[in-house]
Amino acid sequence: MSAAQDFRSKALSQLTNEIGVYALCDLDGQPIYVGQSIDGIRTRVRRHLTSARSDVIANRQIDVWEIAFVWAWPVGGPDEVGPLESALFNQFNTEQPLMNGKGLVITDTPVTIPEKETIQIIDEQERLNRLNPSQRLPRQIQQYNLLVDYILNVKNAPHLKVSLDAHFKRLVKYHQTFL
């Protein structure tokens, strides 16, 4: 196991495995994907990070290399998961488009947002290295190309085009940083 994998494994062991909602956050600490788990947040996040049974990885919607933080909101019961996921998705997606590719409907049910748990899953020095525009921009251009190719050759679906648009908006930001 590499030092990076060891760091991630140890960090993830600190993440709650209660049911709830989580956000995968980029190198800047901005959410890029919001999801839910009724099997345990740690278990679901590990599947994302290892590409095992994770559609958003398989569909090229997110690049695991870009994920530096995980935010988690454990809840008391399964009936709280959906409304909390919708509320957090819509809040974060309004601030900066998420890679989920589809919106979640907000219900009239009042949502209390529990305290957020934050776990950093890559070493701080590695995070700072990845923020270097000469590394980040080419990597994210490649990820954008992978998603375009997936849409053209595997699955042309509206939610993937929404993800593509979210990638493009981030690429503009990375491009400006590169200049």
User: What confidence tens digit (pLDDT) does each residue in 133-168 have?
Assistant: 999 999 999 999 999 999 999 999 998 999 999 999
Reported pTM: 0.93
Look at residues 136, 36, 153, 44 and name the one whose alpha carbon lies nearest to residue 84: 36
> What is 3-178's CATH topology?
GIY-YIG endonuclease (3.40.1440)
Indicate the residue type of 89: F
Q: Are the CB atoms for 49 and 121 separated by under 8 Å?
A: yes
